[in-house]
A and B are shown apart, each in its own frame.
Chain A
């Protein structure tokens, strides 16, 4: 049944509904792939029984002649940032090692309600901080991709949703959840040749999702193609009274609304995204994307987003500031790790627990965040960054006077090797240069695979839309996908 694991969400859903195969067969096939792929380190926890139980419910419903739920028979991977009831949820951190929540995040709960089953909890950058999946307390995720240059360098699957991207690319799951704070869905999707969408801020509930930077964090799906992303997002999105930033709006029928026809659409090309030292192949891919968009009927316009160059610095002030506060709750008092040295007082216990429980990147961001919020520096950093954020949002608002969507590369390079950038945080942060502005503005944005670089590694194209226009983003993604005809996949070496 190995070919079942080549199927995406829509194909599995339709096959189970039509009786082409059973949900149980699907779950067993993916469970088997998960079990074989340990070397990729994509899963932190495997939950084969959860997937099988959901499959049995789907098969029983079909046998009883009932209408199947939207994701009946579809097993998925769950990023470990989502709290899952009764299943260890650590955000890939030591400080939450052994933490098993007695509650289910709203998004994961919605997916189970839609009939999906869980194959396991996916590895990630610790507390979603990282762009390469090297900050996990439980080891790096290895991308299933290899360069075609004959070298066997282990490559980064992107981050922070690196377990999600690797698992989908390696056919360990047809789809997975991701979260995106500054590009954590889009960049890993681009690195492994899959699709992923970060919806408008507030579309998906953050309740039960371990917080990194609250004003930026947004859940979204990662899957093999645009249609599968639409199906997943429909199940994940929706108003949640338990999240005060949740949007009280109905969830559109995105899958039913899919169309790759871009006639009448104006697609903006932001000139400021042509950054210094951009590899020629990234620029070539971008030009190719422009040609595909034209072919789909879109009109191409050049637009300006003048504050783009300030986005990354602003992001690396705001996100750590919020993180430093959000992570204060991990103090060793109520759950998770507690390190109480002999004779230590309360402050010593905090210090020891946090020293032992957080990894270097998390500590770096906590310290940056604490510094930029401190009384003497608040105005110089946080206030200034908040103003820049408002200017960036205004840039987009002005661009929308000239176009409906924006087209850019997703990342400034293809996947790099593990270890290649981990010694240089700034180089690592620069990976988010194209994804961060839309995050600061809370806009929906998607990455779809566009082609391969000289080493036959995937490259992604990004579409950014107006707030709430996920449909426009998905449609443009579909138009590119149809024309790119991206079929490359990582050969199984694991």
Chain B
């Protein structure tokens, strides 16, 4: 546990910020929460709408088991209490994007109770910079449709494709105390969701969005200030910006003698500011009550057991395992942040490749190359088996580090395997002492003055001879052997 150092200096003293996030994560499933309609992104408007989604007379919701399962697995992944008895409530309000005139949600008895997410603020030192953020609850609810006001001069168009899509609302406790913590929490949550497979975490497509609750108080003040809620923020960067800008704004208002109004705001990324948003409901009386079309959700032990058994190794456990294998905390943190990277790395470990060498190579060479090529691990031209072959050649002395880099570049260009590249281009490292001694003799002959200097006490020239020898051998000489032979030859 670390105490956040984030404070903001105002005219009247130092302020701290209190942040809670409500993250809406779209559940990965082929069908909506209460209908069989499809959920694919980017479909033509109103092509993924069933009679139920359009709220035709007499239509009834039927819970989609897979959506419930994914929410339960997500709860388990953050060590949360899973409520074996939960219930759906209706949240009633009129709006054109809400065909039933209510949203089916869970107010009184959510599916998932309290849990926690461990974040770290510094990858280089993840354990020392860690903090535990409480999660209040996860409940499942329907998404609303989309209103389009710019398609016709006088009419609003409604697209019900999203209407009824399953969302998990993941509500944090107000445990976040800085933009950095908010960002780290959102990244970690996204990582966990992607490990679990319950949400693709794609913020650009709206699969994940956050409502950011911010309040400020004087440092040391036990009372919480009045909070504002900035809705539908759709990137980690913007969430961090909202925390920063909103905190500054609130401090200014208070220090100018004003009061913070509890209200809904929106974030304008172009101006980097939050703005008051006229609430879409004039009155905040949602008229909640238990949905009479749905029976309470009762989960049996077999279902819960299956959910738990289906969970993969999660990022924190994976990081600990890598560290136990000798991988540095930094590399372990980098390798486990994204599930695809970790899966790729695990596949490499499965080949028997030494963990430390593998971690060094993946985090520097592979990630560097992918970055340069603008690719992610999913489209990496190098497979774990291909990497294992390359690293194997380094481990058995066939390739030196510099040769391995050459071979890797050729692999990226040609798609050939490491062994093939070595064979075809003769890039094999040599430990042939006779050949190396011959080259050393030539180098010494050509640099008689430097030999004399070295022998006269200029020890630093040793590196020069190594370099010259390696260069003369086209980089293929075993550096260890070169070192040994040079020491003998130079006396």
Q: Which residues of A contact B (CB under 8 A)?
A: 82-83, 89, 91, 96, 99, 101, 103, 105, 206-211, 213-215, 241-245, 321-322, 324-325, 327-329, 331, 333-335, 346-347, 350, 370, 373-375, 378, 382
- List chain B residues, Cβ under 8 A from A375: 285-287
Binary A-proximity of B281-295 (CB < 8 A = 1, otherwise 0): 000011111011111
Instruction: State A116–B207 Cα separation when bound (angstroms).
Output: 48
In the complex, the chain B residue whose C-beta lies closest to that of A90 is: B57
- Whether A210 contacts B58 in the complex (CB less than 8 A), given A328-B100, A329-B101, A374-B285, comes out as yes
The reply to whether A83 and B293 contact each other, CB–CB distance below 8 Å, is no
Instruction: State A356–B308 Cα separation when bound (angstroms).
Output: 54
The reply to whether B57 and A207 contact each other, CB–CB distance below 8 Å, is no
**19 other A-B residue contacts (CB within 8 Å) besides A89-B57, A325-B102, A370-B287:** A207-B60, A210-B57, A214-B291, A215-B292, A242-B62, A244-B60, A324-B287, A325-B92, A328-B94, A328-B100, A331-B94, A331-B96, A333-B99, A335-B57, A373-B92, A373-B288, A375-B285, A378-B289, A382-B289
Instruction: State A373–B288 Cα separation when bound (angstroms).
Output: 7
Between A and B, 27 residue pairs with Cβ closer than 8 Å are A89-B57, A103-B51, A103-B56, A105-B58, A208-B58, A210-B58, A213-B292, A214-B292, A214-B293, A215-B292, A241-B62, A243-B60, A243-B62, A244-B62, A321-B289, A325-B90, A325-B92, A327-B101, A331-B94, A331-B96, A334-B54, A347-B94, A370-B287, A373-B287, A374-B287, A375-B286, A378-B287
Instruction: State A29–B286 Cα separation when bound (angstroms).
Output: 53
The reply to whether A331 and B285 contact each other, CB–CB distance below 8 Å, is no
Instruction: State A79–B158 Cα separation when bound (angstroms).
Output: 33
The reply to whether A333 and B58 contact each other, CB–CB distance below 8 Å, is no
- Whether A346 contacts B101 in the complex (CB less than 8 A), given A206-B60, A245-B293, A375-B287, comes out as no
In the complex, the chain B residue whose C-beta lies closest to that of A243 is: B60
- Report the minimal beta-carbon distance from A352 to chain B, rounded to whole angstroms: 13
The reply to whether B57 and A83 contact each other, CB–CB distance below 8 Å, is yes
- List chain B residues, Cβ under 8 A from A378: 287-289
In the complex, the chain A residue whose C-beta lies closest to that of B160 is: A334
Instruction: State A331–B94 Cα separation when bound (angstroms).
Output: 9
Binary A-proximity of B302-319 (CB < 8 A = 1, otherwise 0): 000000000000000000
- Report the minimal beta-carbon distance from A254 to chain B, rounded to whole angstroms: 25
Q: Contacting A329 at CB < 8 Å: which of B61, B99, B288, B291? A: B99
Any A CB within 8 A of the CB of B371 = no
- List chain B residues, Cβ under 8 A from A325: 90, 92, 101-102, 287, 289
The reply to whether A211 and B94 contact each other, CB–CB distance below 8 Å, is no
In the complex, the chain B residue whose C-beta lies closest to that of A374 is: B285
- List chain B residues, Cβ under 8 A from A89: 57
Instruction: State A331–B158 Cα separation when bound (angstroms).
Output: 14
- List chain A residues, Cβ under 8 A from B63: 244
- Whether A322 contacts B62 in the complex (CB less than 8 A), given A103-B56, A331-B94, comes out as no
- Whether A350 contacts B285 in the complex (CB less than 8 A), given A329-B55, A335-B56, comes out as no
Instruction: State A101–B61 Cα separation when bound (angstroms).
Output: 18
- Whether A373 contacts B55 in the complex (CB less than 8 A), given A243-B60, A325-B92, A329-B99, comes out as no
- List chain B residues, Cβ under 8 A from A374: 285, 287
- List chain B residues, Cβ under 8 A from A209: 58
Instruction: State A9–B100 Cα separation when bound (angstroms).
Output: 39
Most B CB contacts (10 A, CB to CB) among A325, A327, A373, A374 go to: A325
- Report the minimal beta-carbon distance from A354 to chain B, rounded to whole angstroms: 10
- List chain B residues, Cβ under 8 A from A321: 289
Any A CB within 8 A of the CB of B30 = no
Any A CB within 8 A of the CB of B156 = yes
In the complex, the chain A residue whose C-beta lies closest to that of B35 is: A242
The 9 closest A-B pairs by CB, nearest first: A328-B101, A214-B292, A215-B292, A373-B287, A329-B55, A208-B58, A210-B57, A214-B293, A83-B58
Q: Contacting B295 at CB < 8 Å: which of A208, A211, A244, A334? A: A244
- List chain A residues, Cβ under 8 A from B292: 213-215, 322
Give the tally of cross-chain contacts (CB within 8 A).
99
Any A CB within 8 A of the CB of B59 = yes
- List chain A residues, Cβ under 8 A from B94: 328, 331, 347, 350
- List chain B residues, Cβ under 8 A from A207: 58-60
Q: Contacting A331 at CB < 8 Å: which of B54, B92, B101, B289? A: B101
- Report the minimal beta-carbon distance from B86 to chain A, rounded to whole angstroms: 14
- Report the minimal beta-carbon distance from A44 to chain B, rounded to whole angstroms: 15
Binary A-proximity of B43-71 (CB < 8 A = 1, otherwise 0): 00000000100111111111100000000
Binary A-proximity of B143-169 (CB < 8 A = 1, otherwise 0): 000000000000010100000000000
- List chain A residues, Cβ under 8 A from B57: 83, 89, 91, 96, 99, 101, 210-211, 329, 335
- Whether A333 contacts B287 in the complex (CB less than 8 A), given A91-B57, A99-B57, A328-B92, comes out as no
The reply to whether A244 and B293 contact each other, CB–CB distance below 8 Å, is yes
Instruction: State A470–B94 Cα separation when bound (angstroms).
Output: 40
- List chain B residues, Cβ under 8 A from A211: 57-58, 293
Instruction: State A375–B102 Cα separation when bound (angstroms).
Output: 15
Instruction: State A347–B63 Cα separation when bound (angstroms).
Output: 31
Most A CB contacts (10 A, CB to CB) among B55, B90, B94, B293 go to: B293
Interface residues of B in 59-117 (CB under 8 A from A): 59-63, 90, 92, 94, 96, 99-102
In the complex, the chain A residue whose C-beta lies closest to that of B63 is: A244
The reply to whether B56 and A101 contact each other, CB–CB distance below 8 Å, is yes
- List chain B residues, Cβ under 8 A from A334: 54-56, 99
- List chain A residues, Cβ under 8 A from B288: 373, 378
- Whether A346 contacts B51 in the complex (CB less than 8 A), given A244-B295, A325-B287, A328-B102, comes out as no
Instruction: State A333–B51 Cα separation when bound (angstroms).
Output: 14
- List chain A residues, Cβ under 8 A from B60: 206-207, 242-244
In the complex, the chain B residue whose C-beta lies closest to that of A332 is: B96
Binary A-proximity of B431-447 (CB < 8 A = 1, otherwise 0): 00000000000000000
In the complex, the chain B residue whose C-beta lies closest to that of A202 is: B295
Q: Contacting A346 at CB < 8 Å: which of B55, B59, B100, B156? A: B156
- List chain A residues, Cβ under 8 A from B156: 346
- List chain B residues, Cβ under 8 A from A347: 94
Instruction: State A242–B61 Cα separation when bound (angstroms).
Output: 8
Instruction: State A101–B396 Cα separation when bound (angstroms).
Output: 75
Most B CB contacts (10 A, CB to CB) among A329, A375, A382 go to: A329
- List chain A residues, Cβ under 8 A from B293: 206, 211, 214, 244-245
The reply to whether A333 and B158 contact each other, CB–CB distance below 8 Å, is yes
- List chain B residues, Cβ under 8 A from A243: 60, 62
In the complex, the chain B residue whose C-beta lies closest to that of A211 is: B58
- Report the minimal beta-carbon distance from A106 to chain B, rounded to whole angstroms: 9
- List chain B residues, Cβ under 8 A from A244: 60-63, 293-295
- List chain A residues, Cβ under 8 A from B61: 244
Instruction: State A235–B484 Cα separation when bound (angstroms).
Output: 96
Instruction: State A96–B55 Cα separation when bound (angstroms).
Output: 13
In the complex, the chain A residue whose C-beta lies closest to that of B158 is: A333
In the complex, the chain B residue whose C-beta lies closest to that of A345 is: B156
- List chain B residues, Cβ under 8 A from A331: 94, 96, 101
- Report the minimal beta-carbon distance from B49 to chain A, rounded to whole angstroms: 10
Instruction: State A328–B291 Cα separation when bound (angstroms).
Output: 14
Instruction: State A15–B287 Cα separation when bound (angstroms).
Output: 55
- List chain A residues, Cβ under 8 A from B51: 103
Instruction: State A242–B64 Cα separation when bound (angstroms).
Output: 11
The reply to whether B294 and A245 contact each other, CB–CB distance below 8 Å, is yes
Instruction: State A327–B60 Cα separation when bound (angstroms).
Output: 13
Most B CB contacts (10 A, CB to CB) among A82, A96, A333, A334 go to: A333
In the complex, the chain A residue whose C-beta lies closest to that of B284 is: A375
Instruction: State A215–B57 Cα separation when bound (angstroms).
Output: 16
Interface residues of B in 360-409 (CB under 8 A from A): none
